[in-house]
Amino acid sequence: MANLKEIRNRITSVSSTMQITSAMKMVSAAKLKKAQDAITAMRPYADKLTELLQSLSATLDANSGSKFSTQREVNKVLIVAITSNRGLAGAFNSNIIKEVSKRTSETYANNEVSYLAIGKKANDAFKKTKKVIANKSTVYDDLTFENVAEIAQLLMDKFVAGEFDKIEIVYNRFKNAATQIVTTEQFLPIVPIEAQVRVNADYIFEPSKGEIVEQLIPKSLKTQLYKGIRDSFASEHGARMTAMHKATDNAKELRDQLKLTYNKARQAAITNEILEIVGGAEALNN
């Protein structure tokens, strides 16, 4: 059994760790509320804009189709991996890395796959493949629509230039503080909704349906990417809060076990001292 000093040192160390994890939990909880409010307020707008765009695109004839909806033979694929810049968030980052790796090795086994990293963890995971075309981790320093729009514009430019035939984004979709859903969305080309699920409505378009679609597409794509990053941002804080909560509980349990061990060891030491005193007294009497 370890001596009393070693156990005391372990108790002190575990208590310090518990204070750190508890503080990180509270910080993430505070940030989560703001991030959750932001993505909850944005989702209906983003989903409706995407639905409207897909519905309009589906009604255009082949000759008036957008350059962003051009279907080409898929040879070169770009996967936008959205992770965080920091760890200590449970399986938050590893789930994205596993999903991207799985799609690379299975879905696109016969294609040339490149990556655009949003988050240092994604960049660290895929930079060794030498196929990371850009690292946009600094977007988290000032997460605004304007900064994300620049990344979306870069993706659109590369697709139109023919550098990639298909672009996907992989991110954690926020459900609640304890649950994040790994989600893959096709970014480009735009896929019109199926004819059977189109909403029949009689609209008057001004100036024209084609011009409206051309103006809506860039805005919709920028909004889609912004929503994905916002979802991931809220998921990160939820995952970190949950992970730190579990870490705090584990540290508390370990500390209690160490205190019990310490008390037992201390009691044993006192008992031994008493026995030695009693034995010595009996020896003197004899």
pLDDT of residue 130: 83
Domain chopping of the chain, boundaries: 4-16+244-275, 21-242
pLDDT of residue 195: 44
Mean pLDDT (10-residue bins), the chain, 286 residues: 82 93 92 90 86 68 65 93 93 95 94 96 91 94 94 95 95 91 92 53 67 82 94 94 94 93 88 84 76
Q: Note the pLDDT tens digit of each residue in 274-285.
A: 888 888 877 777
pLDDT of residue 181: 95
Contacts 24+ apart (CB under 8 A), 140-149: 140/84, 140/85, 140/233, 143/229, 143/230, 143/233, 145/222, 145/223, 145/226, 148/222, 148/225, 148/226, 148/229, 149/222, 149/226
pLDDT of residue 138: 94
CA distance 24 to 244: 7
> Angle CA(150)–CA(159)–CA(163) in degrees, nearest 5?
115
Under CATH, which number does the domain 21-242 receive?
3.40.1380.10
Average pLDDT of every residue of the chain: 87
CA distance 23 to 32: 14
pLDDT of residue 114: 96
Please state the pTM of the whole predicted model: 0.83
Q: To 10 degrees, what angle do helices 92-102 and 209-285 make?
A: 130
